[in-house]
Structure 1
């Protein structure tokens, strides 16, 4: 397996962990995916700068989140900007009895010295029908 293929698989695992953490409302599992200097913009446009702001928001919102059905995340495109920086387009779908709603997050991820990929600059965007 070449390095790029291994990195894509590792990135896909991060996206799968986002899905698992969201489903389980696992705050600490979700936060473990972030770089200390991360930037996160929520689907509603709230800008969170730095790990502490992301952690405070996540610890407040994720445990109280409620939805019917399940959430799926899929890395649909990975573009390496450098060997240690990747832009990852994600398809996020909320499956509910009323139908599906979709998000289109963009994760800019960085590869750490230990080989782990972390979320570094992320924008979560709702997909509007119409």
Structure 2
């Protein structure tokens, strides 16, 4: 297995552990996947800073608003920007029961730590506004991306 294949597998495993912690409602395990100084921006614009704050805030959410939900996600791309840094773009959403349409787009920045483990250093979550996007493309076709990033 080459280095990039191993790194890609390790990064995918981090995202799998993130989904598992979410499903179990375990804020401490969720936060532990982030660096001590990580930034986390929710789709409503809330900024959390640091693994501890991310974990604590998510525990409060797991105990209330998102209790019993799961994460659905599909990786769009993993791009290495250096030997110890990767940018990951996913489409995802939360759900109960069966997963539906993936309404959100996430960007993760992961960094390899001194111990060799990959952790999330930054996260940005944006809710896809399909109607607004379609209007923009209709009135300004040059703003449409060249490739479909479904």
User: Which residue number corresponds to residue 136 of structure 2?
Assistant: none
2:111 pairs with 1:110: yes
**Does the residue aligned with 2:101 lie in a helix, a strand or coil?**
strand
Please give the alpha-carbon distance, in whole angstroms, between the structure 1 residues aligned to 2:62 and 2:68: 15
Aligned to 2:127: 126
Gap regions ≥5 residues in structure 2: 132-150
Q: Where in structure 1 do 4 or more consecutive aligned residues deviate above 6 Å?
A: none
In structure 1, the residue matched to 2:52 is 52
3-state DSSP class of the match of 2:43?
A: coil
Give the aligned length.
130
1:43–1:126 Cα contact (<8 Å) kept: yes
User: Cα distance 1:61–1:70, how it changes in 2: closer, same or farther (>3 A)?
Assistant: closer
Residue 68 of structure 1 and its aligned partner are, at CA, apart by 7.4
Q: Which residue of 2 aligns with 1:78?
A: 78
Q: CA deviation at 1:47?
A: 0.9
Q: Tell me the TM-score normalised to structure 1 length.
A: 0.86
Contact 2:32–2:55, Cα closer than 8 Å, also in 1: no
Q: Secondary structure at the match of 2:71?
A: strand
Structure 1: runs of 5+ lacking an equivalent: none
TM-score of the pair, normalised by structure 2:
0.76
Structure 2 CA distance for aligned equivalents of residues 120 and 105 of structure 1: 13
Between structures 1 and 2, the one with greater strand share? 1
**CA distance in 2: counterparts of 1:30 and 1:66, whole angstroms:** 14
